[in-house]
Amino acid sequence: MAFFGKVKNTINLLKNIDLDQLAKINKQIDLAEAMKTLGNLDENQLKGLMKMLKTKRRKGQHDLPPIDGDFYNLDLKLTPEQRDLQLKVRTLMEDEVRPLINDHWNRAKFPFEVIEMFKKLNIAGIPYEGYGCPNLPFLMEGIIAQEIARVDVSISTFFGVHSGLAMGSIYLCGSEAQKEEWLPQMQKLEKIGAFGLTEPNVGSGVAGGLETTCSFDGENWVLNGQKKWIGNATFADVIVIWARDEATNDVKGFLVRKENPGFKAEKMEDKMALRIVQNALITLTDCKVPESDRLKKADSFKDTANVLRMTRAGVAWQAVGCARGAYESALKYTKKREQFGRPIASYQLIQDHLVEMISNLTAMQTLCFRLSELQDQGLLKDEHASLAKVFCSMRMRDVVSRAREVMGGNGILLEYDVARFVADAEAIYSYEGTKEINSLIVGRAITGYSAFVS
């Protein structure tokens, strides 16, 4: 009887099977292996599988557009080689760097393995000519700053300080011997640089109020004073220190090595932003620097300003990257998060926030793209870079705020990344010139009147 029962069940099974459909499935998967796997599932697992297979896609959940913050397709303006480099940086940041970030940000530690990862990309000193540097357009320096900041602003800041401020100071203000000594090693990330301008009592007023002094004793330059908020300084091999000459009152630049006597760098703790960046309070106590390590083409603050003008565009691009990372994270979240049986991305109020975000982001991107074109054409002025810093840092704040808002309570969790972008945006808003100082630079350019305190 058992035999006839099995035969009857088999006949009934064959009547209900679409043999053509079965043949089609067999071409796509190993049917025998699939049957074996199904046979090993328990009752609850089988019920769950059937429920999933029977569930119809909800309206709005199919053929969704990709998550891409480049709404105007500015990447189409890049050459194939430039686009390839952009994607290499993006891949490394997504696949190798992103998994490290939240843990290190939470513990305020720097992931030194990132330096080894970056060595493979050959991107340090992007716009410089010679000394092993790529000599690519300034546009690519901006694109790379955006791509790094899109995943983490701290890592972008580390790279900008090293490749932009430190290498840039040597490239613009150093002697040929100084360039030959430092730039090839820094380009390969074998030596790491830092940039010491800001002081405990002097931020926006550095043009006329540096308290760090230097004096020549006939053999060495002797530096005294403090520098604050100096990124990379806890582990950098060379720190560019700007000091006021006691004899002439001129601003001079020095290459201070970490082993120089009288140099001390203490890590700053308890930051709410850029927690991965190792900022230091530097104390210079009769720190002796040989004449050979004085930047030979740095004799006034105008020379310092040349470095800041060149790198300020990169900070505007960092703001773009921060905003883009927050926007893309929020958009991804709203497509997956459901309330009242629908993805929250399908609701009008959420879409309004998302449109405001992509509008701001697109305006920031197009402004920075043109800024970099001016820089590559040799037409960049202080007010151009300052306008980009002002606008992008303000719009970035709005984007990250809206990203946090559409994510509700989850927006304050590191798990979803946006909380980190919200915190780090506050640092971008302040460094490389505050909103007020950069506004006055632009205001002076468009009115002809200087509103700076003399």
Task: Give the Cα separation of 244 and 209 in Å (integer).
Answer: 9
Answer yes or no: are the C-beta atoms of 264 and 281 closer than 8 Å: no
What is residue 38's predicted lDDT score, i.e. its pLDDT? 72
What is residue 419's predicted lDDT score, i.e. its pLDDT? 97
Could you tell me which residues come within 8 angstroms of residue 19 by beta carbon, excluding any fewer than 6 positions away?
Answer: none
Answer yes or no: are the C-beta atoms of 285 and 224 closer than 8 Å: yes
Could you tell me which residues come within 8 angstroms of residue 181 by beta carbon, excluding any fewer than 6 positions away?
Answer: none
What is residue 54's predicted lDDT score, i.e. its pLDDT? 58
Task: Give the Cα separation of 111 and 123 in Å (integer).
Answer: 18
What is residue 60's predicted lDDT score, i.e. its pLDDT? 45
The span from the first CA to the last CA of the chain, in angstroms, equals 107
Give the orientation angle of helix 348-376 with respect to helix 301-336, to 10 degrees. Answer: 150
> Which H, E and C letters describe the chain, residue by residue?
CHHHHHHHHHHHHHHCCCHHHHHHHHHHCCHHHHHHHHHCCCHHHHHHHHHHHHCCCCCCCCCCCCCCCCCCCHHHHCCHHHHHHHHHHHHHHHHHHHHHHHHHHHHCCCCCHHHHHHHCCCCCCCCCCCCCCCCCCHHHHHHHHHHHHHHCHHHHHHHHHHHHHHHHHHHHHCCHHHHHHHHHHHHCCCCCEEEECCCCCCCCCHHHHCCCEEEECCCEEEEEEEEEEECCCCCCCEEEEEEEECCCCCEEEEEEECCCCCEEEEECCCCCCCCCCCCEEEEEEEEEEEHHHECCCCCCHHHHHHHHHHHHHHHHHHHHHHHHHHHHHHHHHHHHCEECCEEHHHCHHHHHHHHHHHHHHHHHHHHHHHHHHHHHCCCCCHHHHHHHHHHHHHHHHHHHHHHHHHCHHHHHCHHHCHHHHHHHHHHHHHCCCCHHHHHHHHHHHHHCCCCCCC
Task: Give the Cα separation of 162 and 382 in Å (integer).
Answer: 22
**What is the per-residue pLDDT across 342-392, written as a single tens digit (0 to 9) for each?**
999 999 999 999 999 999 999 999 999 999 999 999 999 999 999 999 999
Answer yes or no: are the C-beta atoms of 97 and 91 closer than 8 Å: no
The residue whose two tokens read 């909103």 is 435
- Tokens representing 278 are 């190792």
- Tokens representing 364 are 């920031």
Which residue ranges of the chain lie beneath pLDDT 70?
1-17, 19, 22-23, 27, 31, 44-62, 203-208, 453-454
Answer yes or no: are the C-beta atoms of 176 and 204 closer than 8 Å: no
What is residue 8's predicted lDDT score, i.e. its pLDDT? 63
Task: Give the Cα separation of 117 and 74 in Å (integer).
Answer: 27
- Tokens representing 97 are 């760097």
What is residue 252's predicted lDDT score, i.e. its pLDDT? 95
- C-alpha closest to that of 334 among 418, 398, 422: 418
- Tokens representing 408 are 């509700």
For 259-278, letters b (16+ CB in 10 Å) and e give ebeebebeebeeeebbbbbb
Could you tell me which residues come within 8 angstroms of residue 120 by beta carbon, excluding any fewer than 6 positions away?
Answer: 92
Task: Give the Cα separation of 139 and 351 in Å (integer).
Answer: 32
